[in-house]
Amino acid sequence: MSSTFSGYYVAKSGIQAARASLQITGQNMTNVNTTGYTRQRVDCSTVGPNSSNMRYASGEIGIGGGVSCDRVSQIRDPYLDIRYRTERALTGKTGTEANILGELENIFDETKKDGITTNFTDFLKQLNSLASSSTMDENSLKSSARLLAHAFNTASQQLSTIRKTVTEEFQNDSIKKANQLLQTIAHLNEEIKSADISGTPALELMDQRNTAIDELSQYVNIEVSTKTVSVGSNRTVSELQIDLVSGSKKFNLVSNNNYSTFGTTTEADGTINLTLKDSTGADVTDGTDAISNKDITQGSFSAYLSMLNESGEYDSAGGAERGIGYYEKVLDKLAAYFADTMNALNSTNPEGDNKPLFTQADGTTTTGITAANISLSNAWYKATSNYLTPTKQTSSSGDTTTSKDNILLMVSKLAETKTFTTNDNNVGGNTLLTSSIQSFVSDISVSILALQKADVNRRDATCNATLNEIDTKRAATSSVDVNEEGINLIMYNQALTASSRFMTTLDEAIDTIINRMGIVGR
């Protein structure tokens, strides 16, 4: 049976619930432009009617005791959070790859006036001009050859600069930022847990943590989970854990207030390996093995490792990415084959090494030529008379003819189509491309690099479109809508007015019962 004054408790709880909801609505509207803020709400539940343990039911109807404000919570969809972070790892990889390949495109750009293709064209022009000339003036050809060698040197230096820059971005920026995020998340975990123990909502701290987790997900593929732990006195709190996942493997990144840190090691051949250490400096394992590069399959870390370490067809392992190493090696392949071809054609001995046109920069050898060290030979550079061998044919009297067939042969050899492979002698090995020396760079730029970048850009656009779609859905659920909150203000204000009016009505009824009932005959 409801007491006479029970209605006051109903009215009081209604006023409290409406006032709390008004305050939360104001909090939401105040933070409408706050980055990372999640819309909050008051979670309420009805208070059931009081009853006593009685053998028989009373004849009274059961009337509830009002409303209970249980807690303040955030409006989030965990499924969308998981999808967002998974997709952001994909965009982190494709975006980083696209940026690096864009830098490589600048080196192989055919429109550059000082590029290799332009200088090759000029070198061929000078060869043809010399072949058709009535004299043997090699000065123009020699100048063109020097510019071509310099173009090789410059391209190689640019590739080295890109490698150095990407390495610094990886080690000094991305890894450092990821480690800072791990430390921040662990610190926030500790503060949120302390707030939960004291019974104080820590929703704003949870917003900061969610923002940090979202940002962390662009570096590696992560999995976020929580577990319930007892803190005594029959109370429990949740502890958050983040793992780096790779198939069935899991490597712990954050466990409550403990966090791991990323690092790198460099092998003798320049290969960069990612490491993961716990707070004691020991390797983090999946229970058996420490983390390795092959465990990093998504995120910008994956892109950095593949672009820095992998060389496509030059790697023995199948499916390797065409990273910076691939383009360094194909450029060296072109420089070496070009130098070997020209030196052999200009030579007058069977070994093909007595009149080299190109050598290493120190002038010591014609072997081991790369794009970085190719240079005009000292003998040709210092020659005051004709150095090129115009023909290798001799007359019956033993005199060299005035023919320039050997120079024409040089022109034809540079235009000759050949299949290049990863082996130095182009016999066996993995096929790189079929091209001529003069078209090598343009074919690399158009047939390989441009297609690779187009594929990455296509995947990046798809991943970003998916990410934006997921983010839009998250925003529809979790962000503050001023119009919706404005409606809530009216609704909760009316609820507060109604509960207040209910209490006033009860007060008038009680006044009648106490002061006006039973006064007949007094």
CA distance between the termini of the chain: 31
Q: C-alpha angle with apex 114: 110 to 120, nearest 5 degrees?
A: 65
Task: Considering only residues 10 and 49, tell me which one the structure prediction assigns the higher pLDDT.
Answer: 10
Q: Is the dihedral of CA 99, 105, 106, 107 positive or negative?
A: positive
pTM: 0.88
User: So what's the pLDDT on residue 260?
Assistant: 97
DSSP 470-508: HHHHHHHHHS--HHHHHHHHHHHHHHHHHHHHHHHHHHH
The CA distance from 411 to 390, in Å, is 12
- Residue among 85, 100, 26 nearest 212 (CA): 85
User: So what's the pLDDT on residue 446?
Assistant: 86
Question: Would the pLDDT of 53 be above 70?
Answer: no
User: So what's the pLDDT on residue 55?
Assistant: 60
Question: Would the pLDDT of 317 be above 80?
Answer: no
User: So what's the pLDDT on residue 233?
Assistant: 77
pLDDT in tens, 167-182: 999 999 999 999 999 9
User: What are the C-alpha distances in Å from 150 to residues 29, 144, 269, 335, 441?
Assistant: 63, 10, 26, 11, 15
pLDDT averaged over every residue in the chain? 89
pLDDT in tens, 480-498: 999 999 999 999 999 999 9
186-195, 209-218, 330-339, 427-436: least confident range: 427-436
Boundaries of every domain in the chain: 6-75+481-515
Percent of the chain with pLDDT over 70: 93
User: So what's the pLDDT on residue 425?
Assistant: 84
User: So what's the pLDDT on residue 349?
Assistant: 85
6-20, 28-42, 54-68, 185-199: least confident range: 54-68
Pairing of strands 258-259, 249-255: antiparallel
User: So what's the pLDDT on residue 300?
Assistant: 97
Question: Would the pLDDT of 398 be above 60?
Answer: no
User: So what's the pLDDT on residue 405?
Assistant: 87
Q: Give the confidence band of 52 by pLDDT, cuts at 50, 70, 90.
A: low
Q: What are phi and psi of 120, to 5 degrees?
A: -65, -45
- Residue among 80, 117, 339 nearest 217 (CA): 80
Q: Give the confidence band of 56 by pLDDT, cuts at 50, 70, 90.
A: low
Question: Would the pLDDT of 132 be above 60?
Answer: yes
pLDDT in tens, 152-162: 999 999 999 99
The dihedral over CA atoms of 160, 161, 163, 165, expressed in degrees to the nearest 10, equals 160
* Most distant pair of Cα atoms in the chain: their distance: 161
